[in-house]
Chain A
């Protein structure tokens, strides 16, 4: 089995209505279990690259493959299913369904993905136990598991989001500036928990941030402008 998880070849991407390429990356890859720190100035295309890696956007030329399967080769509905089976997300903000409890939020991917549900069962005996395991792993006390998401602090919400991304041990977690809303202490705690949990789940991590101080915590660091050969000043709409 190849150790390559994610592969990107000869990628060209332009936003509709523009002639200039926004991203032009000849080669990029991520191995299984690897943690990658992706950085670059605002508007350099980090979120666009994440969308391409996750198959939300498709490149005009070139391929982005997850586990050897190019996103392009899958029909839209298949892409949705493949994505949830193999990918977990942590957004910058607005991560949880506020009307669900912390536990129910973590369980969400298991309702939509059979693969994740089975993996969670295999790992902890049941999806619920797996959710409790990851909540505990994120340092969240049992007393808040049944608390509605809107009653949690921002730091707690991000940790619940991380637990949700990790349940069912997906092959890859994409985190788009998840620490930007946290203070320094919470940021350090969150990062410790996320990295150790990814290691425990053997999950690769693509972590986007502006904060270079934490870059050394990752196995690899990449500056997007250094691999993007497209010259652009435009910020995507």
Chain B
């Protein structure tokens, strides 16, 4: 018997049951979508978390826990208990083995986004993900006092263009409490390319600008009767007296513990320095419960998907008993029946899986920007991870087996079915 005939037969039989099969394909597609989707979110969540900072050997701040220091300096969550003096920053620069120091000054915000005061070195030395440097999507770095460089999410969510005039608010809340720096507006001169890290949600200004907007402030409020306008601040000495934290890069990774010890034993003021990688792991231990929940959800989705797939195929079997009985009666052997079912099973599962992947890709493309802006979840279209590969293969094999197992039963029953139908 020609294989072409068998393929034709499989196709015509499948077309005859197209509505049931469409249901099966949808079920497989949905399973694939759920399985890969949850897995995608899980891996992207982890990678967007762990890629927040790289290439920085130490983060220095006032004494606190390593997790709080990492949270406020890198993730801009919470506030520092204390600042570090500028003199200390200068001193760290001169420690043996230190290559660069990037001071970070936090505490203000713009419409809920953190404002970071820093130096030009930040753009030189800051790395994220796999040692990737920051890149400008448009414009340039800040050069004038009231220039601001905004992260990609700030630009996208607020719809800012270059040249946009923005004002900063004191404090980090989204709701302004009335005290702001509207007398000293900033101009957006640059927009950073998307990084999938907290940088995207940050407004970057110079350290001097951070100092300038606070010259007529004291203890977190405008100094009564004192108002220095933006023009006047240009002529002032804007060397900061303190900053929130600093990122430190070393000439050699080998010196990291020696420099860390020197900073931790700093005599001028109590300081602490942390290794960001170690602190990230510590932090992940706390927030990683979410990831474990997602992993559990992935497994449950997989289990339910396979069970669903099996039940759809088994439910469709009764519809096929009559057909298989006739085929057996006209001479189809076990191999023919199995080949027919295997062909259909493989085709169905493959179509379902491809449809699922396409839908997921479409959703990532269409919903990605929305997820990024509203939930801060960065979903990217990349080749499947090993785990996703395993899940896909399992889905394909299970789907295929699910279509074969009933075939065996159908083969055994079908001739007797034909001779004495019990349908």
Contacts and interface: CB of A to CB of B under 8 A. Distances in A.
A76 interface: yes
A112 B419 contact: no
A91 B419 contact: yes
B267 interface: no
Contacts of B297: none
Given A54-B419, A91-B419, A91-B421, A111 B1 contact: yes
Would you call the interface of chain B mostly helix, strand, loop, or mixed?
Answer: helix
Interface string B338-358: 000000000000000000000
Nearest to A113: B331
A112 B1 contact: yes
A112 B330 contact: yes
Interface residues of B, number: 28
Interface string A36-64: 00000000000100110010110000000
A99 B15 contact: yes
Contact of B330 (A50, A51, A84, A176): A84
A95 B336 CA distance: 19
B3 to A, nearest CB: 11
Contacts, number: 76
B323 interface: yes
A72 interface: no
B420 A176 contact: yes
A47 B419 contact: yes
Contacts of A51: 415-416, 419-420
Contacts of A76: 334
Interface in B389-421: 415-416, 418-421
A28 interface: no
Interface of B: 1-2, 5, 12-13, 15-16, 322-323, 325-336, 415-416, 418-421, 423
Interface of A: 47, 50-51, 54, 56-57, 76-77, 80-81, 83-84, 89, 91-100, 108-109, 111-113, 116, 164, 176
A-B pairs with lowest CB-CB distance, top 9: A84-B331, A112-B331, A99-B16, A47-B420, A108-B330, A80-B333, A89-B329, A56-B415, A94-B322
